[in-house]
A and B are shown apart, each in its own frame.
Chain A
Amino acid sequence: MEEVPAGTAQESAQGARGLRGFLRRLTSSKAELEAEELQKTTGEEGATPIRKCAVRRRACVAGTLRTVTLRPRGGAPALEAELYDGSDAISLVWLGRRRIAGIEPGRLVRAEGLVSVQDGRKVMFNPRYELRGGA
C-alpha cells in the first residue's frame, strides 16, 4: 500500500489515444457484439429487456449472471446476483438465503419478480427463477 493515484487525470488522458485506445475500441465493439447476442436470447425467452422494465411492475427478465455476491456468515443472510441481458443490468436479491445451487457467475437465468430501484439501480427481491442451460 504505497501508491496513491496522483497522476490519474493525466494517465487517463493518455489512455484515450494511441494503440491502447485502439485496442479498447476493439474490445468495446466485442462487448457490443456480446450484448447483441444476449439481447437475442431475451427475445427467445420471451422476456422484457431490462432497460425497458418499469419500476414497481412485475417483469420477466433473462440473461447471464455477471456477478454473484456471497455475504459473510455474521450478517443477515442474502444472496445477490447481477443479471445482465445486453440492454441493462438488474440485481437479483434472495433474502434469507446464503447460497442457491446453480446461482453461479456465468449462468443463464430467467427471473420474474417486482422491479424496484435502490440507489439508482434496478433490483428484484426474491424473484422466481429458472436456471437455463450452461453459460
Chain B
Amino acid sequence: MTRGRGFTGLVRGGPMTGDGAGGSRVPAMGGDEQDRLSVAGGLAALSLDAMSSVAYGPEAIVIVLAAAGGAALGYTLPVTLVIAGLLAVLTVSYRQVIAAFPQGGGAYGVSKAYLGRRTSLVAGASLIVDYVLNVAVSTAAGVAALTSAFPALHPYTPGLCLAVLGAITAVNLRGIAHSARLLIAPTAVFVLSIAAVIIVGLFRDHPAAVAPAGPQDGTLRTVGAFLLLRAFANGCAALTGVEAIANAVPAFRRPRVGRAQRAEMALGATLGLMLIGVAVLIGRFHIRPVHGVTILSQVTAGSFGHGVGYYVVQFATVLLLALAANTSFGGMPVLARLLARDNNLPHLFALRAERQVHRYGILFLAGTAGLLLAGTAGAMNTLVPLFAIGVFVGFTLSQAGMVRHWWLDRPRGWRPRAALNGLGALLTGIAALVVAATKFAEGGWLIVAALPLIVLLMSRVHRAYGRIGERLELQRTPARPRRRRAVVIVPVEGVDRLTYEALSAAFSLGERVVAVHVAHPDEPGDTMRFVEAWHRWAPDADLVLLNDPHRRLVEPIVDYVSGVGEPHVFVLIPEVEPAHMWQRVLQNQRGAVLAHALRRDTDVVVCRLRFRLRPRHAHDRVEAAPGTVRVPATRARG
C-alpha cells in the first residue's frame, strides 16, 4: 500500500518538522544524518503495513479453503509457502529497485520513468485505491482483533470501525508529529509477540484454548486447482506493504542503499517467517474460521490460552493496525503532490504550505474508507481481497518497469536481475488477474471499475492542463513586452476626495484617463451641479456623461466599457473602506457589483481602489489634500 510513503518528497522538499497534518512520519528529515533511519528504525517505521498484514493474510487463505470443508484446510501451509515464495521474489526484486532508485522508487516513479505516462497513471490510480483500502482494511482488521478479544463488542463492529476511522481522521486533521522511534515500540511488541506465539505454539501438542467452533460444513468437496488459486489470490493480501522501504531510501542513514536493502531483506524474512509460522500453527491446532473470532486470535489463544499474553498480542495487533491505517493519511498527500506536479491532479494538491490541502486529502481518504466500511459493515474478509487487486497492479507495474530499466541500461549481469524482476512482474500480474477474476462478483468489480475511472479522470486533468499550458505558451519565450495604447476609465459619482484619489491613481496608470458619470435624465439638476463642480475642478481628463433613463446600477458603465476599442482598458473603481466593520452597512456595495459585472462581460483589467477611512487628523498627516478639493471623506456615499 503506502508506496508513495512520503520520504521521497519530504527529503527533496527540505525539512518537514512542524508540518503537522500527517505529512511526515519521520520528522526532521532534511536535517543531519543522526535523524535519519537506521536499519532497525527503518524496519519499524516502514514495515507497519507489511507486518500488520499478518493479522489478515492467513485468515484470507483459511476462509477460502474452509469453504471446501475441513480437509481442504490442510492446504493452508502449502498455499502459504507459495505466497512466501512470491514474497521472497518480491523482496529480492525490491532490493534491486532500491539500488536502481536510490532517490526513492515506488510504483508511480518507476512506471513513470520506464513505462510512460499512461502506465504511470494506472500505477497512480492503483496507489490511490490502495491508500483508501489500506485504511478500510486496517481499520476493519483492527476492530476484528478487538472484538475477538471482547466478543461482547462484536455486534457493534460497523460502529466501532467508523469510530476508529473517525478517531484516526480527527488525529490527522489535528496534526501529529510522527517519529520513527515512536513506531519502533508497537512494531517490536507486535513482532516479538507473534514470534512468541509461534514458538510457544510449536512446543504445544494441543491448543491451550479452543474457540467454540460453529457447525462444521461437513460435505467434503474436492479440492480443485481453482480453489487453491483462489486461496492463493486471497492470501496475497499478506504481501501488501513490502514495497514501502523501496520508496523511502532517502530517509535512511548513509550508506542509504545498503541500509535500505538490509531493512528490506529483514522485512521480507520477518514477514515470511511470521506467515509460515502462523500457517504451521493453523494446521497444528486444526483451526477453522469461527464467526466473530479472527484466525490470529485463535492461534494466539491456542498458544497462550486466554491469559495476559493473549490480551497483549491482541492489543498489539489492534494498535499496529490502527497505526497501519494511519500511514495512508501520511502517504496520500505526498502521492497527491507528486501527481499534481505532473499535472495529473489539480495543482492545489502540489501546494506544500497549505494545510488545507492535506485536509482535503485526509477527508477524501476518510470519506471513501468510511463508505467502504459502511458498505461492508466492517467485514474484514470482504475488504481484504479488494485490497490485493490494487496492490498487485502496483507491484506488477513497478516490476515491469524494472525489467525495462535493465533492458535499457544493461549493466554487467543484468540478465539474471531482469529475469528476477520479470518473474516478479509475471507472478504479481497473474495474482492480480486471479484476484480480480475470482473476486469480481464479490466487490472486485468496484476496484476494476474504479481504476480506469481514476485513470480517465487524471488524463482529463492532464489534458486540460496541457491546453492551458499551450495557451499560456509555457516553455516558450514570449515576445518582448511592449507598451500599447491604454485608457483608464474611472466611474465617478461626485467631485470629492475619493474622486481625487481615483483620478490621481488613474493618471499614474495610463496617459489617457476618462471619467465616466452616469446621468439620470429625470434629475437634470444633479447632472448640472456635477458638471459645474467638474469644470471648477478641471482635471486633465475627459468626462463622459452616460445617459441612463432606467437607473440601472452597473449596466450603462459595462456597456460603455465594452464599446471602448483600445488594446488596454483599465477600469479603476474607487471604493470607500470604512474604518469600522459596522460602517460597512453605510456603504453600498456598488464597487463589488460593478467589478463582478465587468469581469463577467468584458476583458478589461479591473482595479479597485480602496480609500481607507481613518480619523481625519491621521489623514492630514499622511497627505495634505489640495485646497480646491472638498474633502467629504466621511460622507456616506450612496
A28 CB → nearest B CB, Å: 10
Whether the pair B542, A105 counts as a contact (CB closer than 8 A) is no
A8 contacts B555, C-beta separation under 8 Å: no
Give the segment of A44-52, A54-62, A67-75, A123-131 that binds chain B: A67-75
B600 and A105 contacting across the interface, CB-CB below 8 Å? no
Q: Is A134 an interface residue (CB 8 A)?
A: yes
The answer to the question of A135 belonging to the interface, with a C-beta cut-off of 8 Å to chain B, is yes
Any chain B CB within 8 A of the CB of A1?
A: yes
- The answer to whether the Cβ of B599 comes within 8 Å of any Cβ in the partner chain is yes
Determine the interface band of chain B, counting residues with CB < 8 A from chain A: 35 or more
B572 near A1: Cβ-Cβ < 8 Å: yes
Q: Which residues in chain B, 474-510, are within 8 Å of chain A measured between CB atoms?
A: 505, 509
A5 touches B (CB below 8 Å): yes
B604-621 contacts to A (CB < 8 Å):
604-610
The residue that A7 contacts in the complex, of B514, B546, B599, B609, with Cβ under 8 A, is B599
Q: Is B544 among interface residues, defined by CB-CB distance under 8 A?
A: yes
Asked if A8 and B539 make an inter-chain contact with CB atoms under 8 angstroms apart, the answer reads: no
Please report the C-alpha to C-alpha distance between residue A104 and residue B549 in the assembled complex, in whole angstroms. 13
Chain A residue nearest in CB terms to B565: A119
Q: Is the CB of B606 within 8 A of A4?
A: yes
Which residues from A are CB-within-8-Å of B522? 135
Min Cβ gap A53→B in Å is 18
Also in contact, A3 and B608, with CB within 8 A (given A67-B560, A104-B527) = yes
Query: Which of A11, A27, A66 touches B547 (beta carbons < 8 Å)?
Result: A66
Encoded as 1 (CB less than 8 Å from any B CB) or 0, chain A from 105 to 135 comes to 1110000000000011000000000000011
Once the chains bind, are A15 and B608 in contact (CB under 8 Å)?
Answer: no
Cross-chain contact A11 with B599 (CB below 8 angstroms): yes
Q: Which residues of A contact B524 (CB under 8 A)?
A: 104
Contact of B549 among A5, A72, A135 (CB under 8 A): A135
Q: Are A5 and B547 in contact (CB under 8 A)?
A: no
Kindly list chain A residues whose C-beta atoms are within 8 Å of the C-beta of B603: 5, 8
Q: A4-B606, A70-B543 are in contact. Are A135 and B521 (CB under 8 A)?
A: yes
Cα distance A3–B572 when bound, in Å?
10
Complex Cα distance A45/B175, Å?
78
Q: Which of B524-542 contact A (CB under 8 A)?
A: 524, 527, 531, 534-535, 538-542
| In contact, A105 and B609 (Cβ under 8 angstroms) | no
Q: Are B549 and A106 in contact (CB under 8 A)?
A: yes
Interface: A65 (CB within 8 A): yes
Counting chain A CB atoms within 10 Å of each CB, which of B539, B544, B548, B555 scores highest? B544
Cβ-neighbour of B538 out of A8, A72, A107, A120 (below 8 A)? A72
| A106/B519 contact (C-beta < 8 A), A11-B599, A135-B549 known | yes
A52, B221: Cα distance in complex, Å? 95
Select B540's contact among A12, A72, A135, beta carbons within 8 Å: A72
B595 at the A/B interface (Cβ < 8 Å)? yes
Q: Is the CB of B565 within 8 A of A120?
A: yes
Per-residue CB proximity of A55-93 to B under 8 Å, as 1/0? 000000000111111111110000000000000000000
Q: Which of B561-610 contact A (CB under 8 A)?
A: 565, 572, 595-596, 598-601, 603-610
Given contacts A2-B608, A27-B555, A119-B565, contact A68 B599 (CB under 8 A): no
Expressed in whole angstroms, the Cα–Cα distance for A64 and B545 within the complex equals 13
CA A119 to CA B603, docked complex, whole Å: 20
| A54–B535 CA distance with the chains assembled, in angstroms | 37
Say yes or no: B608 contacts A1, CB within 8 Å: yes
Nearest neighbor of A9 in chain B, beta-carbon distance = B603
Q: In the docked arrangement, what's the CA distance between A64 and B549, Å?
A: 11
Whether the Cβ atoms of A72 and B542 lie closer than 8 Å is: yes
A104 touches B538 (CB 8 A): no
Is B606's CB under 8 angstroms from A69's CB?
no
* Chain B residue at minimal CB-CB distance from A121: B565
- Cβ-defined partner of B601 (8 Å) among A4, A15, A104: A15
Minimum C-beta distance from A9 to chain B (A)? 9
Q: How far is the CA of A107 from the CA of B181 in the complex (A)?
A: 84
Residue A68 contacts which of B540, B544, B601 (CB distance < 8 angstroms)?
Answer: B544
- Within 8 Å CB of A67, what residues of B? 544-547, 560
Asked whether, in the complex, the Cβ of B545 is within 8 Å of the Cβ of A70, the reply is: yes
Residues of the B chain whose Cβ atoms lie less than 8 Å from the Cβ of A135: 521-522, 547, 549
Out of B514, B600, B605, B608, name the residue touching A12 (CB < 8 Å): B600
Within the complex, the shortest CB–CB distance from B559 to chain A, in Å, comes to 9
Closest Cβ of chain B to A132, distance in Å, is 14
Please give, as numbers and ranges, the residues of chain A lying within 8 Å of B599 by CB-CB distance.
Answer: 5, 7-8, 11-12
Contacts of B547 in A (CB 8 A): 64-68, 105-106, 135
Q: Interface centre among B514, B534, B543, B599, by most A CB within 10 Å?
A: B599
Nearest A residue (CB) for B528: A104
Closest residue of chain B to A84 (Cβ to Cβ) is B547
Q: How far is the CB of A124 from chain B (nearest CB, A)?
A: 17
Interface flags for A12-35 (1: CB within 8 Å of B; 0: not) read 101100000000000100000000
A1/B609 contact (C-beta < 8 A), A67-B544, A70-B543, A73-B538 known:
yes
* Across-interface contacts of A70 in B (CB, < 8 A): 531, 534-535, 542-545
Among A1, A27, A104, which residue has its beta carbon within 8 angstroms of that of B545?
A104
CB-based contact A3/B544 at 8 Å: no
What residues of chain A lie closer than 8 Å to B505, measured between beta carbons? 1
A-B contact pairs, 30 of them (CB 8 A): A1-B509, A1-B609, A2-B610, A3-B607, A4-B606, A4-B607, A5-B599, A5-B603, A7-B599, A8-B603, A11-B599, A11-B600, A12-B601, A14-B600, A64-B547, A65-B547, A67-B544, A67-B545, A71-B542, A72-B538, A72-B540, A74-B540, A104-B519, A104-B524, A104-B545, A105-B519, A105-B545, A106-B521, A120-B565, A135-B549
Can you add 16 more A-B contacts, CB < 8 Å, to A4-B605, A5-B604, A135-B521? A4-B606, A5-B598, A8-B599, A8-B603, A12-B600, A67-B546, A67-B547, A72-B539, A72-B542, A104-B524, A105-B521, A105-B527, A105-B548, A106-B520, A119-B565, A135-B522
Q: Footprint of B on A, CB under 8 Å?
A: 1-5, 7-8, 11-12, 14-15, 27, 64-74, 104-107, 119-120, 134-135
